[in-house]
Amino acid sequence: MTHRVEGCELCEQTGGTPVWQDGACRVVRVDDADYPGFCRVIWHDHVAEMSDLTGTEQRHLMGVVNAVEASLRKLYRPDKINLASLGNVVPHLHWHIIPRWRDDRHFPKPVWAVPERDKSAPRPAVPDQTLRDAIVQVLAEAQGGGV
């Protein structure tokens, strides 16, 4: 049974456009024109910290985070990937996976900082299905061929 908390944004909403999910977590795309490919990996159950998970659950979640990172690197070719798990505003375990470019609005600062530039350079769009397929492929390779 999934543990939900009333009033928690990530318990009550998807947190973005769904791209992939399994029984433990989901990958969503964040709608941000300056940061195409910005994804979140969200644990389904309401927990606040990585240490609330078992070792197996931690490894599973980080495997999904790694698969999203690898997929974004392949599809977007960013200069850097930022990984963040903050939870100060929404204390529901989730990871941000953010492709970064030297000419994006905030580089080299975090995307939540005061912008350095008025806008980011345009980037090619990658369809959700293409991102999903890439994530599935990376997960399958990490598991020796099967998801």
- pLDDT digit string, tens, across residues 122-135: 998 899 999 999 99
Does the bond joining 108 to the residue before it have cis omega, within 30 degrees of 0?
A: yes
**Is residue 91 very low, low, confident or very high in pLDDT (cuts 50, 70, 90)?**
very high
Domains of the chain: which residue ranges? 9-142
Listed in sequence order, the residues at least 6 apart from 36 whose beta carbon sits closer than 8 Å to its beta carbon are: 76, 99, 123, 124, 125, 126
Homologous superfamily in CATH for domain 9-142: HIT-like (3.30.428.10)
Residue 21 main-chain phi, psi, to 5 deg: -160, 160
Burial of 31 (0-12, 13-18, 19+ CB in 10 A): exposed
- Average confidence score pLDDT of the chain: 93
Tokens of 56: 């197996």
pLDDT tens by residue, 15-74: 999 999 999 999 999 999 899 999 999 999 999 999 999 999 999 999 999 999 999 999
- The residues that bridge with 99 in the sheet, in sequence order, are 81
- Is the model's pLDDT at 104 over the cut of 60? yes
Alpha-carbon distance 94 to 72, whole Å?
17
